[in-house]
Structure 1
Amino acid sequence: MALFGSLATVRTQLAGSPSFQKALAYVEEILRPGSEAHQRLLAVATGDTGRVELGDGVFALEQAYIAKPPAEGRWEAHRVYIDVQVIVSGDELMEVTDVSRLAVAEDHTPAKDILFFEQNLEGSVLRMRAGELAVFYPVDAHKPSLAAGVPAALVRKTVVKVPVASVS
């Protein structure tokens, strides 16, 4: 099931995988003010996403957006990649539940690694703040990018995609 917390907490839980070590080294850099990665994320325009290749099939999607009302969120899950979602600035809510509790609404695999689910169940809610990250495995349906308050915050976030095959 999903992991979440500070970089130090999550790093301890994922210590064994070289792919996760690559992902977490990038996370450490992007969370460091003044670093090249941090500056690159700050330059992402609201509504845009940039892709950064990290090697060995690991990549990051650097994003800036206004968090959406919870009613507009969609349950999603991935089969090929594990998500490491990192809040760099702002805050948001994320919901999580086991995929077995949801019915698939749209299957965009294998062309895109995403499944969307029906909106008939509420999951556990995580309030994610700057410097925190959540790791979602293929069994974790998640509903990210939800506003934590009114007005909704500008969120700068990176989602590191780690191939499932590299950690098995």
Structure 2
Amino acid sequence: MILDTLNNGSQYTSLHPLFAKAFDFMSQNDLVNLEDGVIQIEEGLKVIVSKANGKTAEASLTKFECHDKNIDIQVCVSGLETIYWKPREKCVTPNGDYNPEKDVRFFNDTPDMKFQLTDGQFVIFYPGDVHAPMIGEGEIKKLVFKVKI
């Protein structure tokens, strides 16, 4: 997992061939005014734009998730978002089977930590990062880049 601000995004472009395209997209678009929906940037890279009210921790933890085939770059455009996290290697209580169509698996484990994102901050979740996002009060606008491994 990596936490930082968009001002430092260029420091991470060498970590994956598509990260540069994701950070270029962010620098070349007015993120505040992007409409909700899915934008296919290129093969292996898309962004999901959403604006929604935050959830309770309890509601978010019902979908304590990780992915096998994608890296998430989650960007808080506006609002205050709390995210729970735990390393996958410490998760021992699966919640259902892996869904290959949605590339998601869920756990019922207790998170190890929580952190907050606000305007212009991002987190990169690798397959080893189990996370429960969108916890908060009020409206949260965010981008979730799906980067194929």
Instruction: Provide TM-score, normalisation by structure 1.
Output: 0.80
Task: Output the CA distance in 2 between the equivalents of 1:38 and 1:129.
Answer: 13
Residue 63 of structure 1: aligned partner? 50
Residue identity matched to 1:111 = E
Task: Output the CA distance in 1 between the equivalents of 2:50 and 2:131.
Answer: 17
1:122 counterpart = 2:111: yes
SS at match of 1:126: strand
Task: Output the CA distance in 1 between the equivalents of 2:22 and 2:102.
Answer: 21
- The count of residues paired between Structure 1 and Structure 2 equals 146
Residue 17 of structure 1: aligned partner? 16
CA deviations on 1:83-116 (whole Å, 9 max, x unpaired) are 0000111111011111122221122421211111
TM superposition shift of 1:16: 4.5
Residue 40 of structure 1: aligned partner? 34
CA deviations on 1:3-49 (whole Å, 9 max, x unpaired) are 0110233431343533010111112234xxxx3x54223xx3xxxxx
Query: 101-110 or 65-74, which moves further after superposition?
Result: 101-110
Task: Output the CA distance in 2 between the equivalents of 1:76 and 1:130.
Answer: 23
- Give the unaligned 5+ runs of structure 2: none
Task: Output the CA distance in 1 between the equivalents of 2:103 and 2:60.
Answer: 18
The Cα RMSD (Å) is 1.6
- Give the unaligned 5+ runs of structure 1: 45-49
1:106 counterpart = 2:100: no
Task: Output the CA distance in 2 between the equivalents of 1:40 and 1:80.
Answer: 26
Residue identity matched to 1:105 = N
Provide the identity percentage: 24
Task: Output the CA distance in 2 between the equivalents of 1:69 and 1:39.
Answer: 26
